[in-house]
């Protein structure tokens, strides 16, 4: 009977840690939204509406639903800039190289 306690305890700890990881992401989102609302000096109903919208917003994600890494964000921004400037071929390669080194 005592031998069953350790594996059950380990399984319980693993399940709890999964919940904490998700909670941390939500807490970070709450902190960010709260800071944005404070920076905008929102109060009362305006603040409630802003916080609701901010917390419902999904993070930038790719087609698979994963959050983009900083490098992927940089690529996305540089690619959009190159497309706006209608760059092609070697000009595009040079622009992308410079853009990715700067940001």
Measured distance CA(103)–CA(101) in Å, rounded: 6
- The answer to whether the Cα torsion of 71, 76, 78, 79 is positive or negative is positive
Q: Where are the domains of the chain?
A: 67-103
Q: Is pTM, for the whole model, over 0.75?
A: no
| Listed ranges 1-5, 52-56, 62-66, 97-101; the one with the highest mean pLDDT | 97-101
Chain segment 7-66, per-residue pLDDT in tens: 767 777 666 655 555 567 778 888 888 888 888 888 999 988 888 888 887 654 444 556
């Amino acid at each position: 009977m005592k031998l069953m306690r350790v594996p059950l305890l380990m399984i319980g700890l693993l399940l709890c840690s999964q919940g904490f990881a998700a909670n941390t992401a939500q807490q970070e989102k709450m902190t960010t939204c709260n800071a944005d609302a404070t920076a905008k000096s929102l109060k009362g109903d305006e603040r409630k509406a802003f916080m609701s919208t901010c917390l419902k917003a999904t993070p930038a994600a790719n087609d698979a639903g994963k959050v983009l890494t900083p490098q992927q964000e940089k690529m996305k921004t540089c690619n959009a800039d190159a497309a706006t400037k209608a760059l092609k071929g070697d000009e595009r390669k040079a622009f992308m190289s410079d853009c990715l080194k700067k940001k």
